[in-house]
């Protein structure tokens, strides 16, 4: 089985028989070099060094990695200091419990469940 769109022989005027060329504004096939660029507007002036987004321009140009670390530390402190709601406070209280406190709480819950089962059985007159 063959391709239904193929021909047995390509004709010389067929554009697909010749090697391709790069697309671009250049009309000469042998032209090399960078493409022409638009000029920078004359009303645009260079303002010097950049500044941190939302901050005041600073004269010190410290280590960017240390500044990023300080910013991450501040975000972590702000996140931990903020209230995380009812579930967050319950989780913090549970993490603060010792092993004996946890075991006592589980034991009390089991005793309460047994007492509830005994009371339900007594109400049924079994």
- Examine residue 123 and state whether it is found in any structural domain, yes or no: yes
- Examine residue 19 and state whether it is found in any structural domain, yes or no: no
Stretch 87-99: mean pLDDT: 87
- Examine residue 48 and state whether it is found in any structural domain, yes or no: no
* pTM of the complete model beyond 0.75: no
Share of the chain above pLDDT 90, in %: 25
Stretch 4-28: mean pLDDT: 62
- Containing structural domain, residue 104: 99-126
- Examine residue 31 and state whether it is found in any structural domain, yes or no: no
Q: Give the pLDDT confidence of 38-83 residue by residue, as tens digits.
A: 777 777 666 666 666 776 655 555 688 889 999 999 988 887 766 6
Residue with tokens 């047995």: 8
- Examine residue 106 and state whether it is found in any structural domain, yes or no: yes
Domains identified in the chain, total number: 1
Read out DSSP for 105-124? HHHHHHHHHHHHHHHHHHHT
């Amino acid at each position: 089985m063959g391709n239904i769109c193929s021909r047995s022989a390509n004709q010389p005027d067929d554009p697909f028989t010749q090697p391709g060329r790069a697309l671009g504004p250049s009309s000469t096939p042998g032209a090399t070099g960078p493409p022409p660029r638009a000029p920078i507007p004359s009303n645009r002036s260079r303002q010097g060094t950049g500044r941190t987004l939302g901050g005041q321009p600073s004269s010190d140009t410290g280590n960017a990695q240390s500044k990023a670390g300080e910013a991450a530390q501040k975000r972590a402190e702000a996140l931990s200091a903020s209230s995380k709601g009812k579930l967050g406070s319950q989780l913090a209280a549970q993490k603060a419990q010792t092993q004996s406190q946890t075991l006592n709480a589980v034991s009390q819950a089991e005793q309460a469940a047994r007492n509830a089962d005994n009371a339900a059985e007594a109400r049924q007159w079994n």
